[in-house]
Structure 1
Amino acid sequence: MTLDNPAYPLANDPLGEVLHQLRLDGSLYCRSHLAGDWSLAMPVLPGKMMFHIINKGNCWLSVKDEVPIALQQGALVLIPHGLGHTLSSNPNLEATPFFDSGVKRVSERYETLDILGNGEKTELTCGVLSFDQMTGMQLVESLPKMILLQELEEGKADWIKSSLHLISHEARHLKPGGETIITHLADILVIQLIRHWLEESPEANQGWLGAIKDKHLGLALRAIHHEPERNWTVDSLARECGMSRSGFSAHFTSLVGNTVKNYLTQWRMKLAYQRLMKKSEPMINLAEELGYSSEAAFSRAFKREMGFPPSKLSKNAT
């Protein structure tokens, strides 16, 4: 794969490419009408992202070891790491597991929930999203445990306001095709929210994300991600991003928190792990695709990094 592959964003936009690689697959969307006393415990879902939109009213969000947060109408919250959490009308109420709350399946990807007691009404649109691209996984791992957009400044983030309005409208007047519109809008909204956080949060200028956004290191990371099979060295990657060998090595280690060599090995092993979890394939083919001269060299590197041989995954692949 060449670095000027037109299927990817421009070479001077590595961060745009990371978002391009974040391929979301909406697995569940739920529209809830709630009133009175209610408390819903959302399950722990490793490898998933959960989001909640407060279409009407307000509620409380409780995440383990954190002070409960009051969410107002129009708020949007993303739980990137699938952590268990609770949404409620009162944080002191005992929570009911979401799947035991009376939720009704409308279709494969759309559900509804009605808890109609006496009291203030709240309407929520919630979703569970999965992602399957290694670069996307790296991005999600770098996100905080919660991204909350409570209020939008006038004139900023109009795209979020528009998306929230459209989702609310479609959810209130679920017409033919409305479910599909909601799922696609929600996918776009989550990517927009992540992009907003990447652009506005000081945290996004640190670690791996900071390296991706760096005008020099971003090109080196892009090269590794695109062509993991190449015989990359510190020298060749330094040339790729227009830096001296020593300057590149020091800057990379300082920002990424890892040496260039270790990062390259870990990236290759993550790709191998992902491939082997999906299907069984000849180990020599995988070794060659990841830049190893022999199956034995690849297996040693994999075991050193993962703690077990790749054959263990290959035997269990589906």
Structure 2
Amino acid sequence: MTDPLSDVLSLLKLRSYVSGGFDASGDWAVRFGPHDGIKFHAVLSGQCWVFVDGEPEPVKVIAGESFILARGRPFRIASDMAVEAIDFRTLLPDVQDGRIVTYNKGGEFLSIGGYFTLADGQADLLLNMLPLIIHVRDEPGLSTLRWCVERMRQELRERQPGGGIIAQQLATMVLVQALRLQLSNARSDGVGWLFALADKRMRAVINAMHEAPGTKWTLQTLAGQAAMSRTAFALKFKELVGLSPMDYLTRWRMTLAADKLRHSRDSVAEIARALGYESENSFSTAFKRVMNCSPRQYGRRASTGNVSAKQNETGTRVL
């Protein structure tokens, strides 16, 4: 049995890269430019302030805590926000993955950092759902995070055969655990599929849609999954997810279809049948409404690497 978070991370073709560490002492501040994908930093010793462009206030992160940056904004980390920041790239004349950079001889502050790349055209599935910065600090679940981060440090320092692969898998565990904590601590005003998973009834419905997208779902049968009346279910789903149940189902089906068009040799007719559409025409109409192009146009663009560029031009948001 699968689950929506696993489904989305699978579609994103998540690839993790552990960049290395930062070991500093005294007064210091470094700035980082815009980035693609998701960045994470885990503080192993000491503390720092993190300021992300677009956030009103800096965030204090102490040893044993982590932070994740999902929206690509420039940011600064510092021992004191009053210290003038230097460009982190100036510390890396011969940058190599797995390197721990030392500043002011180190010894007071140590962090491990990395990033995740995401599949073209699908990143909005997750990134638009997340805040600019996720501060992972709550005690439940942190023992797992701390173990992963400590193991990453060992792999970076010891340079054992296969260490890079192990470090990447540990980084993925850090991200998933952080998303779980974000889900469990979701604000009541958060809207989107990720936040809706915190509600047991909505989670049951979203699980059902993801597990059997080709089922001929109706509002009544989906309400049955939540053990709610049709009207109450429709209102609650829209409140938490930001879409009606049938709109969410359609967009999830089109997301799966887009992935199939990019990564399989299935025909449009085969994809349509697998997703519960009785005719290729009805499927193509739904696909065009969500993706702003026909399935065949999407497939051709995918083969030439132009899908993400086109979606950026049209402003398409899948989920």
TM-score, shorter chain, exceeding 0.5: yes
Between the aligned partners of 1:212 and 1:156, the Cα distance in structure 2 is 18
1:181-213 CA deviation, whole Å, 9 max, x = no partner? 322222212222221222234348754334323
- Unaligned 5+ segments in structure 1 are 1-7, 10-16
- Equivalent AA in structure 2 for residue 84 of structure 1: P
Deviation of 1:156 after TM superposition, in Å, equals 6.9
Match of 1:274 among 259, 267, 278: 259
Aligned-pair identity in percent equals: 27
Match of 1:52 among 27, 36, 41: 41
- Equivalent AA in structure 2 for residue 130 of structure 1: T
Deviation of 1:51 after TM superposition, in Å, equals 0.4
1:193 aligns with 2:178: yes
Corresponding residue of 1:14: none
Is the CA contact (8 Å cut-off) linking 1:103 and 1:111 kept in structure 2? no
Is the CA contact (8 Å cut-off) linking 1:54 and 1:73 kept in structure 2? yes
Deviation of 1:78 after TM superposition, in Å, equals 0.9
Match of 1:130 among 117, 129, 136: 117
Q: How does 1:1-318 map to 2 (within 5 A)?
A: 8=1, 17-21=3-7, 22-23=9-10, 24-34=14-24, 37=28, 39-45=30-36, 48-66=37-55, 67-88=57-78, 91=81, 93-96=84-87, 98=89, 101-105=92-96, 110-112=97-99, 114-117=101-104, 122-131=109-118, 138=125, 140-150=127-137, 157-203=142-188, 207-278=192-263, 281-318=266-303
Q: Which moved more, 1:196-205 or 1:238-247?
A: 196-205
TM-score using structure 1 length: 0.77
Is the CA contact (8 Å cut-off) linking 1:56 and 1:123 kept in structure 2? yes
- Structure 1 residues 273 and 173, CA gap change in structure 2 (3 angstroms): same
- Equivalent AA in structure 2 for residue 102 of structure 1: P
- Structure 1 residues 287 and 201, CA gap change in structure 2 (3 angstroms): closer
Between the aligned partners of 1:247 and 1:38, the Cα distance in structure 2 is 52
Deviation of 1:287 after TM superposition, in Å, equals 1.9
- Structure 1 residues 267 and 32, CA gap change in structure 2 (3 angstroms): same
- Structure 1 residues 74 and 221, CA gap change in structure 2 (3 angstroms): closer
TM-score using structure 2 length: 0.76
Is the CA contact (8 Å cut-off) linking 1:216 and 1:241 kept in structure 2? yes
Between the aligned partners of 1:212 and 1:200, the Cα distance in structure 2 is 11
Between the aligned partners of 2:132 and 2:296, the Cα distance in structure 1 is 34
Deviation of 1:88 after TM superposition, in Å, equals 4.3
Is the CA contact (8 Å cut-off) linking 1:60 and 1:87 kept in structure 2? yes
Is the CA contact (8 Å cut-off) linking 1:33 and 1:122 kept in structure 2? yes
Between the aligned partners of 1:181 and 1:118, the Cα distance in structure 2 is 28
Between the aligned partners of 1:135 and 1:314, the Cα distance in structure 2 is 14
